[in-house]
Amino acid sequence: MLGILNLNKKLFFWSLGLTLGSLFSVLVTLAHTGNLFAAMPLAGVGGFVIEADKITGTNFELIPAVGDTNLANKEQESWTAFPQSQTTMATVNI
């Protein structure tokens, strides 16, 4: 049956339900695995800072590096290098 907007209501609600159900299952999976709250810079622009009074974890590893946060500048002859680091921990409590 066609409604005011000339669309099939049954097909619309089936596809809406399927889409929302898929989104919900992806979010639940990410929350269950702990990846939902991962802070990641988008498109290589900048980074992020975590401020906390106490961070406890196991198997801490710090990997120092020097680089540019903007990947487009690397093709220029002069670009500014910034200190960077990557950390990995098996378990963490912030």
Q: Once rounded to an integer, what is the mean pLDDT over residues 53-57?
A: 86
Where in the chain does DSSP place strands (E)? Answer: 56-58, 61-67, 82-88, 91-93
Q: Once rounded to an integer, what is the mean pLDDT over residues 19-32?
A: 88
- Reference 87, options 62, 58, 50, 57; nearest CA is 62
Does the reported pTM lie above 0.85? no
Q: What is the dihedral of CA 24, 28, 29, 34, to 10 degrees?
A: 140
Q: Once rounded to an integer, what is the mean pLDDT over residues 33-59?
A: 68
Q: What is the pLDDT of residue 35?
A: 65
44 conformational bin, left if phi > 0, alpha if psi -120 to 50, beta if neither: left
Residue type, 13: F
Over the stretch 30-45, which tens digit does the pLDDT of each residue have? 777 766 655 555 545 5
